[in-house]
Amino acid sequence: MTDAMPPSKFEDADETIEEAATATSNMEEDSAMCEPHDSSTDKTSADYYFDSYSHFGIHEEMLKDVVRTKTYQNVIYKNKFLFKDKIVLDVGAGTGILSLFCAKAGAKHVYAIECSQMADMAQEIVKANGFSNVITVLKGKVEEIDLPVPQVDIIISEWMGYFLLYENMLNTVLYARDKWLVSDGIVLPDNATLHLTAIEDSEYKEDKIEFWKNVYGFDMSCIRKQSMMEPLVDTVDQNQIVTNCQLLKSMNISKMTSGDASFTAPFKLVAERDDYIHALVAYFDVAFTVCHKMTGFSTGPRSKNTHWKQTVLYLEDVLTICQGEFVVGTMTVTQNKKNPRDIDITLKYSLNGRRCNVSRTQEYKMR
Ligand code: SAH
C-alpha cells in the first residue's frame, strides 16, 4: 500500500502548523529515563546525563514543537465531550501540559504520573494555575506507583521516540492501559504508523559516512562501519524523495500487546523518476481516531518539521534506479535484549533493475 501522506489528511493540520516558531535543535534526547538519582536540587551534569527529563531544556524543545503540542491541544479542546466528568491518566506528564489541557477541558480528575524531577515543577505549575483540586501529580514510575483510584476512563500520553519506538515508552503506556483503563476506555493517541521511503542523499552520505575513509590522509574506515550502523536522526528535504512512501506497520494502541512492537514487515518502493538511492528514510504518524473529526500529525518529510525529524538509514550500495523499477525487501524491528530502550533494525533489500542489481542485508542499532 502506498501512502502519499498529504498533511491535510487530518483535521486542522494547517492550524497545528500556523505561526510555527520552528523549534530546531541539535539536542539529542537521552535514552536513560528515570534512572536512580538523588533528589537534591544541586544536580550535576552527570545527573542530567542519566536523567535528561529532569532538565527543563528537553521539555522546552517538546513544548515549542507546535505540531506536536498544538495537535494534543486541539484533540482535547475540540473534543470536550470526551473529557467531561472523566477520570484521566497522563502517562509521563513532564511539565504537566497535557494534564492542564484536560483539566481545562472539563475532566473530573487528572492523575499526572512523572518519574523525573520535573514532577516537582509540574506540581508547582498545577498549583500556580489553580488546578490543584483537579490534577494530582504523582512522582514515580508508572510501573511502581499506587494510583489512588482503581480505574481511569482515559489514558493520554506523548510517548513517541525517534523512529517511533526508540526509548520504548510505549510499553509503559500499554502497562498503564492493562492495569487501570476501564473496558470501554480510550487511549490518546490510539493509532501510530511507521512509514518508509527512499532518498537521494549523495552529499550528506559523503559528509557523514565516506568522510571516515580519508581523514586528513588517514584511513578511519573502522569508524565508517559504525557510522553506517547508526540511523541518523535528521530532516530530509522532500525533493530528495525518489520513491513512493510505504506503510510499514500500523499499531492500534488500544488493542496491541508490547510484543507487537517487534515485527518484520515487507516493503516495495517504486521509483518515481530516474535517480540514485543512498538511503531509506523512516518516519511515523500518530492519529486520534476517537475525535469528532480525525486528528493527528505526521513526522514525514512532506509535512511540517517536528523535533522527531526523520530517521535515515544509509545503504552500503548506491542504487541506480530507473522510473518504475522497485526496491523490495523487509525491515525487522526488535527491542535490544540487553537494553530494551534500544532498537535493533535488520534491513533486507534488493533491486533487480536495468542498470543495477543488488541484494543485501544490513544491521542497524539505535542507541
Ligand atoms: N507529557 C509531557 C512530557 C512528554 S515526554 C509533554 O507532552 O510535554 C515523556 C515523559 O515521560 C518524560 O518527562 C519522562 O520523564 C516520563 N516518563 C518516561 N517513562 C516513564 C515511566 N515509566 N514512569 C513515569 N514517567 C515516565
**Maximum distance among all Cα pairs of the chain, rounded to whole angstroms:** 69
Bridge partners of residue 249, in order along the sequence: 194
**Non-local CB neighbours of 40 within 8 Å, separated by 6+ positions:** none
Q: Are residues 349 and 206 in the same domain?
A: yes
Determine the structural domain holding residue 196 and report its residue range.
Answer: 191-366
Answer yes or no: do 111 and 237 share one domain.
no
Cα-to-centroid distance, 134 and ligand 1 (Å): 20
Overall average pLDDT of the 20-45 stretch: 45
Q: Per-residue pLDDT tens for 149-191? A: 999 999 999 999 999 999 889 999 999 999 999 999 999 999 9
For 238-254, how does the pLDDT look when each residue is reduced to its tens digit (9 = 90+)? Answer: 999 999 999 999 999 99
What pLDDT is attached to residue 338? Answer: 86
| Nearest Cα residue to atom 26 of ligand 1 | 92
- Tell me which of 35, 111, 116 to substitute to probe ligand 1's pocket, judged by most ligand atoms within 8 Å of the beta carbon: 116
The dihedrals phi and psi of 316, each to the nearest 5 degrees, come to -60, -40
Residues 98 and 156: beta-carbon distance below 8 Å? yes
Residue 49 domain flag: yes
Distance separating alpha carbons of residues 204 and 214, to the nearest angstrom: 16
The answer to whether residues 94 and 224 belong to one domain is no
Which whole number is the average pLDDT over 23-44?
46
Q: How far is the CA of 69 from the centre of ligand 1 (A)?
A: 14
Q: For residue 288, list its beta bridge partners.
A: 295
pLDDT of residue 350 exceeding 50: yes
Closest CA to 238 of 281, 301, 283, 285: 301
pLDDT in tens, 269-287: 999 999 999 999 999 999 9
154 and 238 assigned to the same domain:
no
249: domain CATH number is: 2.70.160.11
- Based on the domain organization, do 203 and 154 belong to the same domain? no
Give domain status of residue 170, yes or no. no
State if residue 11 touches ligand 1 by the CB under 6 angstroms criterion: no
Q: Which atom of ligand 1 is least distant from the CA of 72?
A: 7
Clarify whether 158 is annotated catalytic.
yes
Whether residue 96 sits in one domain with residue 206: no
Ligand 1 neighbour 94 (Cβ under 6 A) = yes
Is 143 a member of any domain?
yes
pTM of the model: 0.89
CB distance 71 to ligand 1 below 6 Å: no
Q: How confident is the model at residue 45 (pLDDT cuts 50, 70, 90)?
A: low
Regarding the beta carbon of 97 and ligand 1, being less than 6 Å apart is answered yes
State the catalytic residue, choosing from 167, 203, 272, 363.
167
62-76 burial: b if 16+ Cβ within 10 Å, else e: bebbbbbbbbbbbbb
Residue 19 annotated to the active site: no
Provide the pLDDT for residue 30: 39
Q: Would 126 be classed as within a structural domain?
A: yes
The number of beta carbons lying within 10 Å of the beta carbon of residue 222 is 8
For ligand 1, is residue 96 a contact (CB within 6 Å)? no
Question: d(Cα 325, Cα 327) in Å, to the nearest integer?
Answer: 7
Does residue 17 fall inside a structural domain?
Answer: no
Ligand 1 proximity of 155 Cβ (cutoff 6 Å) = no
Cell of 142: 508508572
Q: Whose CA is nearest to atom 11 of ligand 1?
A: 92
Question: Binning pLDDT at 50, 70 and 90, where does residue 21 land?
Answer: very low
Strands 87-91 and 152-157, by their bridges, are parallel
Atom index in ligand 1 nearest the CA of residue 142 equals 23
Q: Which amino acid appears at position 111 of this protein? A: Y
Last-in-domain residue among 158, 181, 204: 158
Instruction: Give yes or no: residues 197 and 87 share one domain.
Output: no
Interval between CA 234 and ligand 1 midpoint (Å): 23
The strand pair at 87-91 and 246-252 is best described as: unpaired
Q: What is the sign of the dihedral through the CA atoms of 51, 55, 61 and 66? A: positive
- Ligand 1 touching residue 114 (CB < 6 A): yes
Looking at the structure, tell me whether residues 77 and 134 fall in a common domain: yes
**149 and 195 fall within a common domain:** no
Query: Residue 11 pLDDT > 90, yes or no?
Result: no
Give the rounded distance of the alpha carbon of 65 from its chain centre. Answer: 13
Cell of 273: 523518476
User: Catalytic residue among 11, 29, 114, 158, which?
Assistant: 158
Residue 31 has pLDDT above 80, yes or no: no
Query: Is it the case that residue 347 has pLDDT exceeding 50?
Result: yes
Please identify, by atom number, the ligand 1 atom nearest to the C-alpha of residue 93.
1
100: cell is: 492542564
pLDDT at 48: 55
- The string of pLDDT tens digits covering residues 111-139 is 999 999 999 999 999 999 999 999 999 99
**Residue 110 belongs to domain with CATH number:** 3.40.50.150
Domain count for the chain, please give it.
Answer: 2
Q: How many residues in the chain?
A: 367
Q: How many CB atoms lie within 10 A of CB 182?
A: 13
| Cα end-to-end distance, the chain, whole Å | 30
Is the distance from the beta carbon of residue 298 to the nearest atom of ligand 1 less than 6 Å? no
Q: How far is the CA of 90 from the centre of ligand 1 (A)?
A: 9
CA of 193 to the centre of ligand 1 (A): 21
Ligand 1 proximity of 194 Cβ (cutoff 6 Å):
no
Domain edge (last residue) among 158, 176, 200: 158
Say whether both 202 and 320 belong to one domain: yes
Q: Is 158 in the pocket of ligand 1 (CB under 6 A)?
A: yes
Q: What average pLDDT does the segment 204-219 reach?
A: 96
3-state secondary structure the chain: CECCCCHHHCCCHHHHHCCCCCCCCCCCCCCCCCCCCCCCCCCCHHHHHHCHHHCHHHHHHHHHCHHHHHHHHHHHHCCHHHHCCCEEEEECCCCCHHHHHHHHCCCCEEEEEECCCHHHHHHHHHHHCCCCCCEEEEECCCCCCCCCCCCEEEEEECCCECCECCCCCHHHHHHHHHHHEEEEEEEECCEEEEEEEEECCHHHHHHHCHHHHCECCECCHHHHHHHHHCCEEECCCHHHECECCEEEEEEECCCCCHHHHCEEEEEEEEECCCEEEEEEEEEEEEEECCCCCCEEEECCCCCCCCCCCEEEEEEEEEEEECCCCEEEEEEEEEECCCCCCCEEEEEEEEEECCCCEEEEEEEEEEC
pLDDT tier for residue 43 given thresholds of 50, 70 and 90 = low
Atom of ligand 1 minimally distant from the CA of 118: 13
Q: What is the pLDDT of residue 12?
A: 42
